[in-house]
């Protein structure tokens, strides 16, 4: 890592958020802008081509605003970084080429960052974490469980075999006539619903591994919805039942995970929830209550680092930086593996 004061400028454009951040190595966030693309609402999900164009249209302006807020110029920045994968290739190219161009213009290093690692390192920003540590990565594109043994030391224990958990929220919301993104909509409607109204399936819950499946659950809800009129009562009850069902699936896998850790004599005292779905208060509370029984604390990043954002990319850049990571020629990769950037 660094042994002197540094400033990092980072870009995140892996999906439908356009975000830039300037962060000080003492963890001060001097400026952080997240622009959420509204254009996808009418389509009920992210349209990759539209996302790329939207990144291109707004990135230069929010970068100017970012430097203005921080009262800095590009010459003041020590490190430039961007998400280089995984994600939508169009967005990755827009963001990484933009950040590379800025770094070349002022002759400063460019550091490629893995989007998933940005999420995994985000709770370390505001929490003191003992390793080994478990992380639930819950986003619109990924649902994964990692054993984190240290910075850059990640073991994938399980993941979704089809839809990601955030994708399931969005698709179920669309089936119920709610707007995109669906996570916040479902959480709000669920507050007034009966969570025991529907007995929903829990795919792979009887499999004592750490993998997930959500596509069948979505299909089941689609069949039920077709037999109903999407009345407000039905929607609220289905949202509450779906949210409860998701929490129970996560807890079931957590129980298998704790057995695995015990059998392998791996001691942990914390589990982090990262990614956009980790914003869900109901899921937070259910997992926290379960883990409390085993003296395990559930940790979260700061609110502005939970969903896709450039602050977590800047933090990962500063946290991991060494001269071997400088690579202006690193190519964006939509399927970039988490161990494929200098771990």
Backbone angles phi, psi at 287, to 5 degrees: -70, -40
Residue 160 and residue 294 in one domain: yes
Instruction: Tell me, yes or no, whether 343 lies in a domain.
Output: no
Distance CA 201, CA 199 (A): 7
Instruction: Tell me, yes or no, whether 125 lies in a domain.
Output: no
Angstrom distances, CA of residue 255 to CA of 120, 241, 248, 266, 293:
21, 21, 10, 14, 11
Residue 311 and residue 175 in one domain: no
| Residue 39, pLDDT score | 84
| Residue 1, pLDDT score | 45
- Give average pLDDT by consecutive 10-residue segment, the chain, 343 residues: 74 96 97 91 85 94 98 97 97 98 96 96 96 96 95 95 95 93 95 97 94 94 92 97 98 96 96 97 98 97 96 95 83 89 54
Residue 160 and residue 275 in one domain: yes
17 near 307, Cβ under 8 Å? yes
- Choose among 158, 113, 112, 153: nearest CA to 129: 153
Residue 291 and residue 315 in one domain: no
Q: Which two tokens stand for residue 103?
A: 């770094």
Residue 60 and residue 186 in one domain: no
Residue 275 and residue 219 in one domain: yes
Instruction: Tell me, yes or no, whether 70 lies in a domain.
Output: yes
Residue 94 and residue 154 in one domain: no
Instruction: Tell me, yes or no, whether 2 lies in a domain.
Output: no
The set of residues, in sequence order, having a beta carbon less than 8 Å from that of 189 and lying 6+ positions away, is 176, 178, 235, 236, 239, 240
CATH number at residue 191: 3.30.420.40
| Residue 44, pLDDT score | 79
Q: How many domains does the chain have?
A: 2
Residue 116 and residue 134 in one domain: no
Residue 187 and residue 296 in one domain: yes
Residue listed under structure tokens 């970084």: 81
| Residue 276, pLDDT score | 95
- Residue 99 gets the label, from left (phi > 0), alpha (psi -120 to 50) or beta, of alpha
Instruction: Tell me, yes or no, whether 339 lies in a domain.
Output: no
For residue 234, how many C-alpha atoms fall within 13 Å in the half-sphere facing its CB? 15
Residue 294 and residue 216 in one domain: yes
Q: Containing domain of residue 254, as a range?
A: 130-300
Instruction: Tell me, yes or no, whether 240 lies in a domain.
Output: yes
Q: Label the pairing between strands 79-85 and 110-114.
A: parallel
SS3 215: helix
Residue 98 and residue 157 in one domain: no
Instruction: Tell me, yes or no, whether 260 lies in a domain.
Output: yes
Q: Which two tokens stand for residue 307?
A: 């969903």
Residue 147 and residue 237 in one domain: yes
Instruction: Tell me, yes or no, whether 337 lies in a domain.
Output: no
């Amino acid at each position: 890592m660094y042994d002197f004061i540094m400033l990092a400028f980072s870009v995140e454009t892996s999906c439908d958020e356009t975000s830039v951040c300037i962060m000080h190595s003492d963890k001060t966030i001097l400026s952080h802008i997240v622009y959420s693309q509204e254009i996808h609402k009418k389509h009920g999900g992210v349209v990759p081509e539209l996302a790329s164009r939207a990144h291109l249209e707004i990135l230069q302006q929010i970068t100017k605003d970012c430097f203005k807020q921080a009262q800095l110029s590009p010459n003041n920045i020590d490190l430039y970084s961007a998400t280089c994968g995984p994600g939508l290739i169009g967005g990755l190219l827009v963001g990484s080429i933009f950040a590379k161009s800025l770094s070349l213009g002022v002759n400063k290093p460019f550091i490629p960052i893995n989007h998933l690692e940005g999420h995994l390192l985000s709770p370390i920003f505001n929490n003191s974490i003992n390793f080994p540590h478990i992380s639930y990565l819950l986003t619109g594109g990924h649902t994964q469980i990692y054993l984190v043994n240290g910075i850059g030391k990640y073991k994938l224990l399980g993941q979704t075999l089809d839809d990601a958990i955030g994708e399931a929220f969005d698709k179920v919301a669309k089936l119920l006539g709610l707007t995109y993104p669906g996570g916040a909509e479902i959480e709000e409607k669920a507050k007034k619903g009966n969570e025991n109204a529907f007995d929903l399936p829990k795919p792979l819950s009887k499999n004592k591994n750490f993998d997930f499946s959500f596509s069948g659950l979505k299909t089941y809800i689609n069949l039920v919805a077709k037999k109903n009129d999407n009345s407000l009562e039905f929607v609220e009850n289905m949202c509450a039942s779906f949210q409860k069902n998701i929490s129970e699936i996560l807890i079931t896998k957590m129980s298998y995970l704790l057995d695995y850790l015990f059998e392998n004599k791996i001691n942990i005292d914390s589990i982090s929830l990262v990614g956009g779905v980790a914003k869900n208060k109901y899921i937070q509370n259910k997992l926290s209550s379960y883990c409390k029984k085993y003296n395990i604390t559930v940790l979260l990043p700061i609110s502005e680092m939970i969903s896709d954002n450039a602050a977590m990319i800047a933090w990962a850049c500063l946290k991991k930086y060494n001269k071997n990571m400088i690579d202006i020629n690193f190519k964006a990769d939509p399927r970039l593996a988490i161990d494929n950037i200098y771990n």
